[in-house]
Amino acid sequence: MHNEQLTYGANAPAHHIFAHTMAEMTWPEIQRGAEQNAVVLLPMGVIEQHGPHLCLATDIYTAHIHCEVVRHQLEAKGYAVLIAPPFYWGVCQASGGFIGSFNIRPETAQALLFDMLSSLYNFGFRRIFAVNAHGDIEHKIAAMDAFKEACERFEITACFPHEGFMLHHFGLASDASCFYTIRPQDIEVSAAEAADAHAGDIETATLHAFYPHLADTRMAASLPDVPLGDQFEAWMFGGRLKQLSPQGYLGAPSRYNSVDIRAHIEDTARRICEGIIARLNRDY
């Protein structure tokens, strides 16, 4: 999908999470991708509540859009790229107290993700990169363990993204073989004082831009800001979202219309693309 074809709001096309992925391809087409040593992008998220105004699948829809734009940017640099079917049965302990948040056991999520990576390896793919849109600590640990096992068992480049500022929470080093690094965003795309930790202005703007039928913007406009403040670790590690926000969001969803969503999406994709290329260059 080319950047100039991205359309927003009421005129947005009917995107869906299988669009332009392996799920819509034939097996000979996938085989040709493996023969071209294509990079595989694996969209990752969960099915969990996202406040009273966004659908449960917000994370995986977001990961899919990121994959579409990352693929375009990588192809423009000469890489062959395929998008795997999405992985959306991850762990959501942080919002597990809400109806709609499917609680998948970490060991189940890890085993399923490893089996997906194993299948891609058996298809002939050797360069697999997750594009993750869900920040739950237990979700990330399960994913990291699956990617680590795939790297060790198959001796392939299979990488989960990480942000440097989070590594100390896991006791991990940035040069581990199962990671690629995404640098922090350094442009301003939002004017909201309450940062979007969950279902805030940026996630609401993303759904409104690409899946307008899945974002209740009238409801969003009525919601007061819920800042996370100094409760980051209590939320991320303790699964206390319901206590911090009874309606299930953290941020300023009412400010969705002030987000420069095109700049945000393209910058996010660019930083993911940079991280992938940097990781690939380590192998040569």
The per-residue pLDDT for range 260-282, each reduced to its tens digit, is: 999 999 999 999 999 999 999 98
Confidence of residue 171 (pLDDT cuts 50, 70, 90): low
Query: Tell me, which fold does domain 3-188+261-281 have in CATH?
Result: Rossmann fold (3.40.50)
Band (243; pLDDT cuts 50, 70, 90): confident
- pLDDT value of residue 112: 98
Specify whether the CB–CB gap between 92 and 139 falls below 8 A. Answer: yes
Calculate mean pLDDT across residues 195-203. Answer: 95
Nearest to 87 by CA among 55, 28, 45, 24: 45
Q: Which residues contact 179 (CB under 8 A, 6 or more apart)?
A: 144, 159, 160, 161, 162, 172, 279
Residues 188, 263: contact at Cβ < 8 Å?
Answer: no
Max CA distance (Å), the chain: 53
Rounded Cα distance between 137 and 145, Å, is 12
pLDDT of residue 270: 97
> What pLDDT score was predicted for residue 190?
95
Predicted pLDDT at 229:
78
189-214 average pLDDT score = 95
User: Which pLDDT belongs to residue 181?
Assistant: 92
Provide the sign of the torsion angle of the four alpha carbons 151, 35, 272, 103, taken in this order.
Answer: negative
Q: Read off the pLDDT of residues 27-70 as tens digits, 9 standing for 90 and up.
A: 999 999 999 999 999 999 999 999 999 999 999 999 999 999 99
In this prediction, residues 206-228 reach a mean pLDDT of 95
Answer yes or no: are the C-beta atoms of 106 and 91 closer than 8 Å: yes
pLDDT of residue 6: 58
pLDDT at 235 over 70: no
Does position 4 have pLDDT exceeding 50, yes or no?
no
pLDDT for residue 93? 83
Work out the average pLDDT over 153-167.
84
Q: Please give the share of the chain, as a percent, with pLDDT higher than 90.
A: 76
Query: 268: Cβ–Cβ under 8 A, 6 or more apart, which residues?
Result: 66, 69, 185
Beta bridge partners of 83: 41
How high is the pLDDT of residue 3? 41
Q: Across residues 213-230, what is the average pLDDT?
A: 94
Do residues 46 and 91 make contact, with C-beta atoms less than 8 angstroms apart? yes
The pTM (predicted TM-score) of the whole model is 0.93
Structural domain boundaries of the chain?
A: 3-188+261-281
Q: Give the per-residue SS3 of the chain.
A: CCHHHCCCHHHCCCCCCCCCCHHHCCHHHHHHHHHCCCEEEEEECCCCCECECECCCHHHHHHHHHHHHHHHHHHHCCCCEEECCCECCCCCCCCCCCCCCCCCCHHHHHHHHHHHHHHHHHHCCCEEEEEECCCCHHHHHHHHHHHHHHHHHHCCEEEEEECHHHHHHCCCCCCCCCEEECCCCCCCCCCCCCCCCECCHHHHHHHHHHCHHHECHHHHHCCCCECCCCCHHHHHHHCCHHHHCCCCCEECHHHHHHCCHHHHHHHHHHHHHHHHHHHHHCCC
Mean pLDDT of 88-94: 89
Lowest mean pLDDT among 9-13, 178-182, 225-229, 236-240: 9-13
Mean pLDDT for all residues in the chain: 90
pLDDT of residue 97: 84
Quick check: 173 pLDDT over 70? no
Question: What letter represents residue 176's amino acid?
Answer: A
Would you state the pLDDT for residue 166? 59
Sign of the Cα pseudo-torsion (197, 16, 139, 179, in order): negative
What is the structure's pLDDT at 175? 65
Residue 253 has pLDDT above 60, yes or no: yes
- Tell me: pLDDT of 163 over 90: no
